[in-house]
Chains A and B, each alone.
Chain A
């Protein structure tokens, strides 16, 4: 099974809302990633978790708060977002950060109104 699942598929939220994105994998992978992709642009790395610990934060604003409750789950908590945060949010996992053959979920399309 090489599947990474993400929920929800679509999310519309106001600038004062709090919401969470969820990502799950059951491949036994020890590294998990969040990416942000704007229209017609390549994905951009946001966070990297290795063995459930945050190892890379690419200077992401604090209104995005990642969480890795266990080795299979990755959350992204959203609070006080801006309209320019509207994008496709992609989750990925890999066996590790050194052997980083990444598998991506289908993404969550987020619209901030």
Chain B
């Protein structure tokens, strides 16, 4: 089945710093999403981005489907950005979402 790997696995930032999170996947995909899981377990939908570039405030994302990767950019990080960031993809034709390994982010005040 499709493999989904995220890097880095852990990231510690000072408040105000910028960061780039990466998601690599091993097969072509129909759907790709980025989520933020807060400390209470809620998965918050950040971007639905099977291809192209999107921006939402301090966050932006780019997916290059032909090269099988997606990037999530966080600018001017805040302590409330702490948590785990997941990308999730479904390989073309399977309709099964597979979550990546996650990036655990901690933003220090």
Q: Chain B interface mostly helix, strand, loop or mixed?
A: strand
Does A23 reach chain B (CB closer than 8 Å)? no
Verify if A73 is at the interface (C-beta below 8 Å from B): no
Judged by a CB distance under 8 angstroms, whether A66 is at the interface is no
Out of B41, B96, B98, B102, name the residue touching A56 (CB < 8 Å): B96
State whether the Cβ of B73 lies closer than 8 Å to any Cβ in chain A: no
A7-24 CB contacts (< 8 Å) to partner B: none
Whether A103 contacts B99 by the Cβ 8 Å rule is no
Interface size on B, residues (CB 8 A): 21
Give chain A interface residues in 65-113, CB to chain B under 8 Å.
88, 90, 92, 97-104, 106-107, 109
Any chain A CB within 8 A of the CB of B76? no
Bound Cα distance from A104 to B31, whole angstroms: 16
Task: Answer whether residue B33 sits at the interface, using C-beta atoms and an 8 A cutoff.
Answer: yes
User: Given that A42-B102, A98-B30 are contacting pairs, would A109 and B95 also be in contact in the complex, using a CB cutoff of 8 Å?
Assistant: no
CB distance from A48 to the nearest CB of B (A): 6
- The chain B residue sitting closest to A107, CB to CB, is B41
Contact B86 A42 (CB under 8 A): yes
- A33 to B: closest C-beta gap in Å: 7
Nearest B residue to A88, CB-CB = B41
Chain B CB within 8 A of A58 CB? yes
Cβ–Cβ contact B41 & A101, under 8 A: no
Asked if B90 and A100 sit within 8 Å, CB to CB, the answer is yes
Asked whether, in the complex, the Cβ of B42 is within 8 Å of the Cβ of A101, the reply is no
Report A57 CB to chain B, min CB distance, Å.
11
Specify which chain A residues have a CB less than 8 angstroms from the CB of B98 in the assembled complex.
Answer: 45
Q: Out of A88, A102, A103, A106, name the residue touching B97 (CB < 8 Å).
A: A102
Q: Can you list 13 A-B pairs with a CB-CB distance of less than 8 A?
A: A42-B100, A42-B101, A43-B86, A43-B88, A44-B99, A45-B98, A55-B95, A90-B41, A90-B43, A92-B43, A99-B31, A100-B90, A104-B35
**Residues of chain A whose beta carbon lies under 8 Å from any beta carbon of chain B:** 2, 33, 37, 42-45, 48, 50, 55-56, 58, 88, 90, 92, 97-104, 106-107, 109
